Amino acid sequence: MYIKQKKSWEISENEATCESLYLNRRKLLQAAGLAGAGLMIGGTPSFATPISGFPPIRNSEYTLDRALTSEQDATTYTNFYEFGSSKNIWRKAKKLSTDPWLVTIDGLVDYPIQIDASELVKKLGGMEERLYRHRCVEAWSMAVPWSGFSLSNLVKFASPKSDAKYIRMETFFDPDVAPGQKQSWYPWPYVEGLTLNEAKNELAFLAVGLYGKAMQNQNGAPIRLVVPWKYGFKSIKSITRFTFTNERPVSFWEELSPKEYGFWANVSPWVPHPRWPQDRERVLGGGYVKTQLYNGYEEEVSYLYKDKYTDDKRELFY
Ligand SMILES: Nc1nc2c(c(=O)[nH]1)N[C@H]1C(S)=C(S)[C@@H](COP(=O)(O)O)O[C@H]1N2
Ligand SMILES: [Mo]
């Protein structure tokens, strides 16, 4: 449950968390003999400590084959269906309050926790800047500097149990703030997932900033996923929950249209979308370039899919 604009001292803990989650966590803690041991690291945040450390140092290992997209384009042409299906939602997204921002880490972990995003960032340390290409399934692309840290740091921090195979991520749900969520034909909240092996790949990134500054709401503040070898819809914004599980998560777009937006969603120029080709892309700011397999990150990620090729090539790409 997304936390509304009440201050933490006005609410009790079981109001501040989804009831069932609260009960689950209590059960888990009781089972472990840890009830009351104060495992809610950071606690329900009572006041804002903004995420700091901008601009981080650029990691020179990540280079581009094209010019950076202008900050103006990357921050005003955005997909964030919670605020509407147009690309021009950046003004509407200002209504989202991202500080404090409670993040839940639960599922197949020894100690489920809730932690404020700014505390989480401190725990994960090592903020850096990376230049990544981004390829939307709609065949437009950009190239931008993200600030953040490897998703593998979060996996280590969460310390999943050995039977965890997937990580499921969820966006906030608050229709009063995000009018798109009043459209009940969508399966809100937005959900995405990766295999744990994908999540541990060095390229999988949790971004908290863009262009050396704190993330703006329209780009997924305060914390979002960036998986540049997959179509953009996998890169879920404004994450409130990370759940480790042994069941493959069904993502938002997969639930709506599984043939068009499957679980894997790896970028491939030779597997067309059912309704349009995918062999080239429109670059934000002007021009077209050829689309590359795994969006140009084949060397880094192809090992993940070596044993998965089947006769149906589509399987890995949608
Ligand atoms: N919660 C949420 N995350 C989301 C989306 C969305 O609608 N809601 N859109 C996705 C899509 S389709 C793309 S292409 C990228 C766009 O990221 P950007 O707007 O920062 O370029 O965010 C992805 N993450
Ligand atoms: Mo997208």
How large is the average pLDDT for residues 164-188?
98
Q: According to CATH, what is the number of the domain 13-317?
A: 3.90.420.10
Which residue's alpha carbon is at the smallest distance from atom 19 of ligand 1?
Answer: 78
Q: Of the ranges 50-54, 57-61, 111-115, 130-134, which one carries the lowest mean pLDDT score?
A: 50-54
Pocket of ligand 1 (CB under 6 A): 78-82, 136, 171, 190, 219-220, 232-233, 235-238
Please list the alpha-helical segments (H only) found in the chain.
13-16, 19-31, 71-76, 117-124, 151-158, 196-200, 252-256, 298-301, 314-317
Which residue's alpha carbon is at the smallest distance from atom 16 of ligand 1?
Answer: 79
Cis geometry, peptide bond prior to residue 189 (ω within 30 degrees of 0)? yes
Task: Locate 220 and state its tokens.
Answer: 């997924």
pLDDT value of residue 18? 36
| 180 Cα nearest atom in ligand 1 | 7
| 87 Cα nearest atom in ligand 1 | 19
Q: What is the mean pLDDT of the chain?
A: 87
How close is the Cα of 110 to the center of ligand 1, in Å? 31
| pTM confidence score | 0.87
Where does the pLDDT of residue 29 fall: very low under 50, low under 70, confident under 90, or very high at 90 and above? very low
Residue 7, classified by CB atoms within 10 Å of its CB into exposed (0-12), middle (13-18) or buried (19+), is: exposed
Instruction: Give dist(CA 180, CA 79) in Å, integer.
Output: 12
pLDDT value of residue 48? 58
Instruction: Give dist(CA 281, CA 292) in Å, integer.
Output: 10
Closest ligand to C-alpha of residue 219 is 1
pLDDT per residue as tens digits for the range 62-86: 999 999 999 999 999 999 999 999 9
pLDDT per residue as tens digits for the range 95-147: 999 999 999 999 999 999 999 999 999 999 889 999 999 999 999 999 999 99
How close is the Cα of 230 to the center of ligand 2, in Å? 10
Cβ atoms of 232 and 134 within 8 Å: the answer is yes
Domain extent listing, the chain: 13-317
